[in-house]
Amino acid sequence: MCSPAPVSVSSQTPEEPIRETQIGSTHLTLLGTAHVSRASADKVAELLGDGGLEVDAVAVELCRSRADSLIDPEALARLDLFAVIRQKRVYMVAASLALGAYQQRLADQFGIEPGAEQRMALRMAEARRLPVLLIDREIGITLRRAAHALGFWQRLNLFSGLLVGLLTREKVTEDEVEQLKQGDLLETAFAEFAQDRARLFAPLITERDRYMAARLRQEAEQQGYRRILAVVGAGHLKGLSEQLAEDRAEPAETIAALDQVPPPSRFWRAFPWLLVLAILAVFAYGFTHSTELGWHMVADWVLINGGLSALGAALAGAHPLTILGAFCAAPLTSLNPTIGAGMVTGAIELSLRRPAVGDFGSLRDDVTSLRGWWRNRVSRVLLVFIFSTLGSAAGTYLAGFRLIDHLIA
């Protein structure tokens, strides 16, 4: 295992600080970058250009999916929406688009290319034929761990804030700009929508500091690099330096632990089934009391649950047949926790209005405007899934209270 060493700081401009450290026989240069500063991309070009640092590898604060989106802008064109719906990854894709929309707002406001410093590092590493080390944790895992750290109502607040963030065209405030200069893009983009930022700090910052430190130590041990330049956000510089100096855990064990998504508690795993049993019990009681009451309860369940899900699909601009599918599916899927109304409506909408290549190609630009979300067939499928799901969820609880009213009337 590589032994830690003290970290020294060299004098640089405040926005591009550099820290030097030694892990075993590997000398590591950490460059802290600011997300809204052209100087950061220029500093990367300087360090990796002629007369710059002599390094064996370049590490970047990117995971594979984020790197692919920078390297290959056409990656979205290969997105399998059926798989996204089937694997219940719609919310993760929507959150990733929220981050992309936020980055585009930065680009529009400050005239900078989203991820310019990381893109410069990738470009310069390729020009010098240097290996690139992707040291950040997958964004999907980070967001799922962040959601797990919040309570139900905090999670709902975060999701609603993200939804508003997807559609807003408001300029980034001066406070956000200052946070981005010394902070982290994920934390700034998502924490603004959360009331409890402290709970988000661990999965968005602290855990990623540990993860990136473990990845650097792992690469140094396995590949024997003598000198590595790591390009990370300024908000990670202090924590990453401390982890490199103090953490003596086995890198592979740390990475495996931080890649795990904690399962929901026993209560939340059992709750959907308990709710279904309670609803079925209410139906059974209604029919045993009188057939007429039982059918009245069934009619209310279908109209309220199906109606609200269909309304959600309609608000998302769904095809008329998709809206009809939402009305028919929601009352049944609400009684089966293994499948949601959104899975049915998303699949129907996708089959009726299959996105064209142009929809994928313009997705990044379209999701920065309210009209674009409804115009683009890819994003509209996501909206149909989300809105019909929310409608069905609201319908389940409203219809449930209606059933209780029947019993106590």
In single-letter form, the type of residue at position 317 comes to G
Separation CA 320–CA 355 (nearest Å): 17
pLDDT, residue 324, reads 97
Tell me how far apart the alpha carbons of residues 409 and 407 are, in angstroms, rounded to a whole number.
6
Residue 6's pLDDT is: 42
Contact between 359 and 377 (Cβ < 8 Å)? yes
Q: What is the H or E stretch that residue 8 is in? A: strand 8-10
pLDDT at 390: 92
Is the CB of residue 391 less than 8 Å from the CB of residue 310? yes
Cβ contacts of 48 within 8 Å, gap of 6 or more: 55, 58, 121, 124, 125, 128, 130, 229
What DSSP string describes 266-300? HHHHHHHHHHHHHHHHHHHHHHHH-HHHHHHHHHH
Comparing C-alpha atoms, which of 226, 220, 215 is closest to residue 251?
Answer: 215
* CB proximity list for 292: less than 8 A, separation 6 or greater: none
Instruction: Look at the alpha carbons of 245, 249, 255, 261 in this order and tell me if their dihedral is positive or negative.
Output: negative
The DSSP result for 64-131, as a single string, is: HHHHHHHH-GGGGGG--HHHHHHTT-HHHHHHHHHHHHHHHHHHHHH---TTHHHHHHHHHHHHTT--
Torsional class of 129: left (φ above 0), alpha (ψ -120 to 50), beta (otherwise): left
Measured in whole angstroms, the distance separating CA 72 from the mean position of its chain's CA atoms is 19
pLDDT in tens, the chain (409 residues): 444 444 443 334 445 689 999 988 999 999 988 766 778 889 999 999 988 899 999 999 999 888 887 777 666 666 788 888 888 788 778 777 777 777 777 767 767 666 788 889 999 999 999 999 999 999 888 888 888 877 766 666 666 666 665 555 566 665 665 556 555 666 565 555 545 566 777 888 899 999 999 999 999 999 999 999 999 988 888 899 999 988 788 999 999 999 998 887 788 788 889 989 999 999 999 999 899 999 999 999 999 999 999 999 999 999 999 999 999 999 999 999 889 999 999 999 999 999 887 788 788 778 777 788 899 999 899 999 999 999 999 999 999 899 988 878 6
Helices (runs of H) and strands (runs of E) counted in the chain: 22, 6
Nearest to 28 by CA among 248, 240, 254, 251: 240
Q: How far apart are CA 290 and CA 406, in angstroms?
A: 12
pLDDT score of 157: 66
d(CA 255, CA 142): 12
Q: What SS3 class is residue 264?
A: coil
CA pair distance 239, 210, nearest whole angstrom: 8
Q: At what angle do helices 320-333 and 341-352 cross, to 10 degrees?
A: 160
Three-class DSSP category at 250 = coil
